[in-house]
Amino acid sequence: MAVIKKKSTFLAIFWRQFSRNRMALAGGMLVVFFTVIAILAPFLAPHDPRTPNIRNRMQPPSEEHLLGTDALGRDMLSRTIHGARISLLIAVLAVALSITIGILLGSLAGYYGGLFDSLLMRFVDLVLSFPTLYLLITLVALVGPSIFMLVLVMGGLGWTGTARIVRAEFLRLREQEFSEAARAIGAGNLRIMFRHLLPNAMAPIIVATTLGVPGVILGESALSFLGLGVLPPEMSWGTLVNAGLPFFRTAWWLPIFPGLAIFLCVLGFNFLGDGLRDALDPRLKR
């Protein structure tokens, strides 16, 4: 008789749950795929994305140019590959910023409660009651479009959801006896917050992070599409769609392929996020 030893470490349980979910696995693969492309862009791109070649302009997809060429004869595959870099870089930085702010403010509000908590949560309600895109457009129009400003504005607006989640987790966890036990042995507030409570709140934070990325990618694309985000000659997926759209009738490949990249990447992150949520946080299961 074979004895199957089932590992019961946290990671093992998580992996068993997660790997059962095919959509999540597919999503994870898409995310890995796009991440690798973004990191290795200069090595993967078959042509220089910035060198014009007027003689070759507006070529439909062919063997030489798999995704065709644009109005200046630049290789669309190379441009889309390099676009992944900027789009994902902005997404990762903005999400990192918003998660950091969200964790800090959410922990303080949940742990200390009181006036700070009330004020912060009302402010969160206020921010969430604005339509995000209009707010983004207004702010970016005020500070001027640049990659740095995009990260700052989207990161600075995106923390509210995380703050709410972290606060709710802290409210729950601080009533658990182990946080009282920590106080009883003389641990300080910071130690209790970041050594005891935060590690136990990581599951929803990881999920919020993963689900936050597609939001930023879409936001950045929308802004770039409107000419308020990444400006040429820098290229993100949004700018590529924007640049290609006027030629939609004559050269469909110009807006379609970067658009498809946005679509698949967002889809990948969403599936991955949903899968992580189901595996990490059984309470949120439908």
Partner 1 sequence: MSSEKILLEVRGLKKYFPVRAGILRRVVAQVKAVDGVDMYIKERETLGLVGESGCGKTTAGRSILRLLEPTAGEVLFRSKKLAEAGGEYMEVDVAAAPRKLLKSLRRDMQIIFQDPYSSLNPRMTVGAIVGEPLLVHGISQGREREERVRELLGSVGLKPDHMQRYPHEFSGGQRQRIGVARALALDPQLVVADEPVSALDVSIQAQVLNLLESLQEEFGLTYLFVAHDLSVVKHISDRVAVMYLGRIVELAETEALFSNPKHPYTEALMSAVPVPDPDYNVERILLAGDVPSPVNPPSGCYFHPRCRYRKEVCETDSPTYRDLGGEHFVTCHFADTLNLQPVRTI
Q: Segment contacting partner 1 (CB under 8 A): 3-11, 52-60, 123-131, 226-234?
A: 3-11
Site string for partner 1, 138-177 (x = CB under 8 A): --------------------------------------xx
How far is it, in rounded angstroms, from Cα 98 to Cα 160? 8
Least distance (Å) between residue 112 CB and partner 1: 15
Does the protein bind partner 1 through residue 182 (CB under 8 A)? yes
* From candidates 123, 148, 178, 194, binder to partner 1 by CB under 8 A: 178
CA distance 205 to 192: 18
Region binding partner 1 by CB under 8 A among candidate stretches 2-10, 95-103, 210-218, 239-247: 2-10
CB of 206: closest distance to partner 1 in angstroms?
13
What residues from 26 to 65 belong to the interface with partner 1 (CB under 8 A)?
none
Task: Identify the burial level of 285 via C-beta atoms within 10 angstroms of its C-beta, where 0-12 means exposed, 13-18 middle and 19 or more buried.
Answer: exposed
Cβ at position 111, least distance to partner 1 in Å: 15
Binding segment for partner 1 (CB under 8 A), chosen from 23-31, 63-71, 181-189, 240-248, is: 181-189
CA atoms within 13 A on the CB side of 86: 24
Which residue's entry shows tokens 């870089």?
89
Please report whether residue 187 would count as binding partner 1 according to CB under 8 A.
yes
CA distance 102 to 134: 22
Q: Which is nearer to partner 1, 9 or 129 (CB)?
A: 9
- The verdict on 181 binding partner 1 (CB under 8 A) reads yes
DSSP for 161-203, written as a single string: HHHHHHHHHHHHHTTSHHHHHHHHTT--HHHIIIIIIHHHTHH
Sign of CA pseudo-dihedral 175, 208, 32, 38: negative
6 binds partner 1 (CB under 8 A): no
Q: How many residues bind partner 1 (CB under 8 A)?
A: 19
- Phi, psi of 128, deg, nearest 5: -70, -20
Nearest approach in angstroms of CB 40 to partner 1 is: 35
* Window 190-209: residues binding partner 1 (CB under 8 A): 191, 196, 199-200
Our finding on whether 185 is near partner 1 (CB under 8 A) is yes
Binding positions for partner 1, 78-137, rule CB under 8 A:
none
- Pick 186 or 233: Cβ nearer partner 1: 186
What torsion do the CA atoms of 177, 179, 182, 184 make, to the nearest 10 degrees? -60
Residue 38, burial from CB neighbour count under 10 angstroms (0-12, 13-18, 19+): buried
Q: Are the C-beta atoms of 270 and 30 separated by less than 8 Å?
A: no
Nearest C-alpha neighbor of 18 from the set 280, 282, 284 = 280
9 contributes a contact to partner 1 by CB under 8 A: yes
Q: Enumerate binding residues for partner 1 (CB under 8 A).
A: 8-10, 176-178, 180-188, 191, 196, 199-200
